[in-house]
Structures are given as structure tokens and as C-alpha cells.
Amino acid sequence: MTKIIDGKAVAKKVNAQTATAVAELAAQGIQPGIAVIIVGDDAASQIYVRNKNRKATKLGMHSVVRQLPATTSQDELLAIIAAYNADDSIHGILVQSPLPAQINEPLITMAIDPKKDVDGFHPTNVGKLITNFPGNYPVANTPRGIMTMLADYGVDPAGKTAVVIGRSTIVGKPMAALLTNANATVTIAHSKTADLKAVARTADILVVATGIAHLITGADIKPGATVIDVGMDRDENGKLVGDVDFDSAQGIAGLITPVPGGVGPMTIATLMQTTVELAKWSDVSE
């Protein structure tokens, strides 16, 4: 039988821990602060940013949303980031992706102070993750949230074969690094991988982050595998579905995340967790 990984339930536990950490910081006179910058009016991004703001406020954090028009220039955005870098009430800065075409996303990522890089996308933090550097630094929230879910369901990656389909900076690459650091044997597969589905079938842990609805079906899954679906796609009826065909995976996968209700809620819960950590670490002199 296939067991469903309840991302909402795990997110609730993470949020409870975050609320405790916020209260502990409040006793020291520190209120974690997050600034989310959104450029343009992408409908899905508007919803995600609204949810981030609501959750941060509910958890007792200082939360700022900076809505900018789609015509915002790169220099304008850089100036806003510089102001948040210098603002002591803000511990985490996030620029919502995707950005309009006139803005060079890597340049924007580089402009965020690595100590306030709540997304964990700055090359300094990515480098630390890849080298499994000791100490405190932010790690991309979606893959980190997936690691939390795996731990919560007793899935230890050590000694397992993991396949990550997708090589994005937000998910695929940091996911592969986290699984490698947890002693899995990891393959990154992508659109140019020869016989992608045969590679998928080797996985004890299969993470799918392609943006292609129902790319992976039950026939592509190793019996008993843990399947993590990062997809957020629309089917022909406009219904939200994942990159994995959930129905055909039943009875084959050992564990599977649903869409919605799997990885998505963990992304926001982990973002809140990271914000609090950045606030804590900012108080510790190096």
C-alpha cells in the first residue's frame, strides 16, 4: 500500500517550533523580520507572497511586502535590496521568482547580503551547501522542507539511491546537494537525460521537479520508492496537479507526496523557520 506524506501536517509541526523560537527571541528583544519583494503581477506569485506575509504575521514576525511594477528597472530593484541590507529590522530578504525579463536574476541574487539571504540562493550559501561547510547558513527552503518531510516519515537517505529530476537553482541542485550530504547516492536527471524514465526507475528516493504535468507515471517508479512531487502544474481541466501521476503511482510507490498538500506547504513553513534562524544568527558575533 502507498502511504501519503502529509505536507500540511509536517508544516504545522515546523510552524509550532517556529512560534516557540519567535517567543524566545521576543524575550531577548528581537523580532524576526522578513522583506518579500515582488515585481509584476504574476497571479500565482501574488498568492504565494500573500501567504508568506500572512504566515509571518501570524507567527509574530515583522513582515514587509514590497510590490513593484513589472516595469521596475534592475537599478531600482538593486537600490531597494541595498536599503533592506542596511535595515536592522529585516533579517531575511526574498525576491519572488520569476522576475520580468529586463532583470538579471543572478545579479539580484548576488546583491542580497548572504546573511539575509533567506532563500539560500546566494553563491556564498550555495557554495557552503555544496561543500557541506560546517556552521550556520541558509539553505533553499523547498529542498530543505523535503528533507524535513523525509525525516518526519523515517526515510533516511543514507545508502539509498536518489534521483532528482530537474536542475534548477531553487530545487534540483540544492536538493541533490542535501541528499548527497545525507549520504545518498545521487543522480541529477533533466530534459537531456537519455532514457529519463529508466533512470527514474533506479531511485529509492525520487524527487521530480520538472514543471511537466504527469511526466512520471507508476511504470517509472521502483516498487516501494519514496516519491516527492515538486510539480505545480495545471491539467487540461485547469486542475492543479503534480509532475507525478498520483493515481498510477498508487500501489507502486511506498510513500508519495500529494499535490496540493505535499511540498508546497513545507516551502512556506521552512521559509519562516529560516527567517527565525537568520534573526538568531544575526545576534551572534563571529
**From CA 235, how far away is CA 226, in angstroms rounded?**
23
Residue pair 243/230 in contact by the 8 Å Cβ criterion: yes
Least distance (Å) between residue 94 CB and ligand LMY7XDAE: 5
Q: Are strands 233-234 and 240-241 parallel, antiparallel or unpaired?
A: antiparallel
Nearer to ligand LMY7XDAE, 32 or 265 (CB): 265
Query: Cα dist. 11→2, 145, 170, 173, 263 in Å?
Result: 21, 8, 19, 23, 9
When the beta carbons of 7 and 218 are compared against ligand LMY7XDAE, the nearer one is 7
Cα Dmax for the chain: 56
Asked whether 226 and 204 are in contact (CB, 8 A), the reply is: yes
Quick one: 119 or 277, whose CB is closer to ligand LMY7XDAE? 119
**139 contributes a contact to ligand LMY7XDAE by CB under 6 A:** no
Residue 264: closest CA among 51, 20, 62, 16: 51
Q: How many chain residues touch ligand LMY7XDAE (CB under 6 A)?
A: 18
* 67 catalytic residue (yes or no): no
Choose, from 55, 115, 119, 222, the residue flagged as catalytic.
119
Least CB distance to ligand LMY7XDAE at residue 194 (A) = 29
In the list 38, 94, 215, 221, the residue contacting ligand LMY7XDAE (rule: CB under 6 A) is 94
**Window 19 to 48, contacts with ligand LMY7XDAE (CB under 6 A):** 48
Query: Is there a contact between 272 and 18 (Cβ–Cβ < 8 Å)?
Result: yes
What is the torsion angle, in degrees rounded to the nearest 10, for the CA atoms of residue 6, residue 11, residue 13 and residue 14? Answer: 140
Binding annotation: 166-168, 191
User: Least distance to ligand LMY7XDAE from the beta carbon of 140, Å?
Assistant: 7
Q: Is 152 a catalytic residue?
A: no
Give residue 88's Cα distance to chain centre.
25
Burial profile 120-139: b = 16 or more Cβ within 10 angstroms, e = fewer:
bbbeebbebbeeeeeeebbb
CA dihedral 44, 196, 127, 170 (to 10 degrees): 0
> For the window 169-198, what string marks contact with ligand LMY7XDAE as x by the rule CB under 6 A?
-x----------------------------
239 labelled catalytic? no
Interface residue with ligand LMY7XDAE among 161, 260, 280, 281 (CB under 6 A) is 260
Interface region with ligand LMY7XDAE, contact rule CB under 6 A, candidates 17-25, 76-84, 258-266, 278-286: 258-266
Stretch that binds ligand LMY7XDAE, among 18-26, 53-61, 91-99, 244-252 (CB under 6 A): 91-99
Residue closer to ligand LMY7XDAE, measured from CB, 180 or 257: 257
Q: Report which of 216, 238, 207 is spatially closest to residue 145, judged by C-alpha positions.
A: 207
> What are the percentages of helix, strand and coil residues in the chain, rounded to 5?
40, 15, 40
Min CB(271)–ligand LMY7XDAE separation in Å: 7
The residues that touch ligand LMY7XDAE, with contacts defined as CB under 6 A, are 48, 94-97, 119, 141-142, 170, 232, 240, 259-261, 264-265, 267-268
Residues belonging to the active site: 52, 96, 119
